Structure 1
């Protein structure tokens, strides 16, 4: 059995508690690794190591171009080890091997992108309104960044934070979910091979209240980048507030997938399925609310039920599996509670709605792909994030009603519109309160463009040029060109 250690200050070390907890394969239930149970003492050591590295000449004197070269080397190592990294992550969180393999390859692209961007973020000469003074701006790193990442896509969602943070010149402490930590230890090993100075990247594992909160509250922590549920994000924001720390929060969603009657229904149905049943619905951008125009509602639901009902469910390591297990037992239990709640609220069960067990389902941590119809937007199933393979279908009459329903939730992470009418599509894009809007596609992402949410879906952006500025602060520099100082009692 693999027993991991904390990675602090360039050293692999035991937790100060000398305690580990077990991690299981979601499909088989087999315990396969032990994860260090860090506590405040370990959090303190990690932040202090990162702070020393931030001030050290080995990192602080490195040019942006040199940082970019290091990131390119790490990207190459990720590419070379993609299969091994994917195998660890798939074993830890139970996602489909095909999906994890694609995600890991994409992780390398994030590091390549920010490697190239590292020495392209430039300040500006400002044409100010004062004579005989020269003014320019420059960007500087913040310091120690704490990255707190979830269990559904550990490597990808760490890369979204780690690549721009390091490109900007910060140092990093990574705190992964206790349910899926192993792949980030493997990533830390690659940073060693790439030649990052000691302490620039640290990994501390454990429970949120024991190690996560101390990391956030530490006086030397300059910024927190968090991905998770909105309740967890709120707690992080509250813990960071007394220290006036910067935060980036990529939180939950209840994203609408809007299908109009003029849409290509074949493509729309495929997009709806990809939006909610890919990754067993365990993705923040899941299209968990389907809004269908009343004139095509029955046809769309019939097509969905037929296609989803044929999905191959089972072992995520098998190449032909289309829907895998739920990653954690608590999440599996929550999804089943939400399904029962929807039934009590009066939603009509069109497909699924139960746990799966028996031969082919491992330890039984599966939920049948579930579709509810006759959903009202005031039902909890339409307002709260389920984070599982559960689709709520709502009917609408016209464009105005569709937009009203779509925006009437606490979240605003993403949305999609399916229509052949360009005017309608652009009108919806303007009116939808969401950080990402797809037109006739779903779940498209790229390192080159920003991603983030409105309302309770978060603060700040990840991806693109905008993301690196989340890890920088602006300095304004004034240089006088006047040979003699003016009267000091008169301000110009």
Structure 2
């Protein structure tokens, strides 16, 4: 069990709030099958509130220059490293990866991604060129607006960073749904996001299942782009829902293959679980 009591509510507009319907789902330790806690489930109404918070925060956040947006990202990277033990325990108890491996790979990886993209603030530039004596070609880079993100269970923190960091440095605001199997580290990361000084509404984190939470995001008319990592079948559904709603931009990472080696002296039933 994690040494600290995990946060289980939704993170909307820089505050932890219960789901409007009061519905929860249980998180189980995959090694012991023990119930760890009950997490608040975001339904369509909760997704609406998170999206509205992100949309309200977008004008001010996108109008900051990239260096100003980078400042809380650098602070967040430091906080992730200083809370490595707690973050590792929260992931381990949900998805089974050893704490020491998480501390050596996932936590530094998560912090490193935020540091990398915060540093890329110096490269978020437009461009111009003279095509002829009387013609100037100008490129202006603009953020999408509210971006929806759906992360998998196997590397929650790294996938949070890979999706959120580039979106944030470019001026987008986000609504992120973590996997229903491993939501606890993402909620802890949300508390660190607030501590790092991100303005209210810039980052919102909801917990729930593909249906209804993920579906509500994929169909949402105010979400301009959605990024999903998971199965091919679900990716196809998200692409269709994105097209059927507001033709939102879609980024998909699908069909991971991760074999595991189980040696003869291993506890086979435990390995299967």
Q: TM-score, normalised by structure 2?
A: 0.92
* Residue 173 in structure 1 maps to residue 175 in structure 2: yes
CA 18–222 in structure 1, closer or farther in 2 if over 3 Å, else same = same
Question: How far did residue 103 of structure 1 move?
Answer: 1.1
Contact residue 215 and residue 238 of structure 2 kept, 8 A: yes
2:40 to 36, 46, 51: 36
Question: How far did residue 12 of structure 1 move?
Answer: 1.3
Deviations 1:208-255 (A, max 9, x none): 11111111111110111100011111111111112111111011145x
User: Helix, strand or coil for the counterpart of 2:91?
Assistant: helix
Work out the CA distance in 1 between the residues paired with 2:52 and 2:223.
Answer: 9
Work out the CA distance in 2 between the residues paired with 1:126 and 1:235.
Answer: 41
Work out the CA distance in 1 between the residues paired with 2:122 and 2:206.
Answer: 29
Q: TM-score, normalised by structure 1?
A: 0.52
CA 197–8 in structure 1, closer or farther in 2 if over 3 Å, else same = same
* Residue 276 in structure 1 maps to residue 252 in structure 2: no
Structure 1 unaligned regions, length at least 5: 255-274, 281-307, 315-355, 369-492
Higher radius of gyration, 1 or 2: 1
Aligned match of 1:82: 84
CA 202–367 in structure 1, closer or farther in 2 if over 3 Å, else same = same
Aligned match of 2:121: 118
- The structure carrying a bigger helix percent of its residues is 2
Work out the CA distance in 1 between the residues paired with 2:236 and 2:148.
Answer: 16
Aligned match of 1:230: 232
Which 4+ residue blocks in structure 1 deviate beyond 3 angstroms?
none
Aligned match of 2:163: 161
Aligned match of 1:47: 51
Contact residue 226 and residue 249 of structure 2 kept, 8 A: yes
User: Helix, strand or coil for the counterpart of 1:29?
Assistant: coil
Contact residue 6 and residue 184 of structure 2 kept, 8 A: no
Structure 2 unaligned regions, length at least 5: none
Work out the CA distance in 2 between the residues paired with 1:181 and 1:170.
Answer: 22
Contact residue 74 and residue 194 of structure 1 kept, 8 A: yes
Question: How far did residue 50 of structure 1 move?
Answer: 0.4
Contact residue 218 and residue 226 of structure 2 kept, 8 A: yes
* Residue 149 in structure 1 maps to residue 151 in structure 2: yes
Contact residue 107 and residue 156 of structure 1 kept, 8 A: yes
Aligned match of 2:263: 309
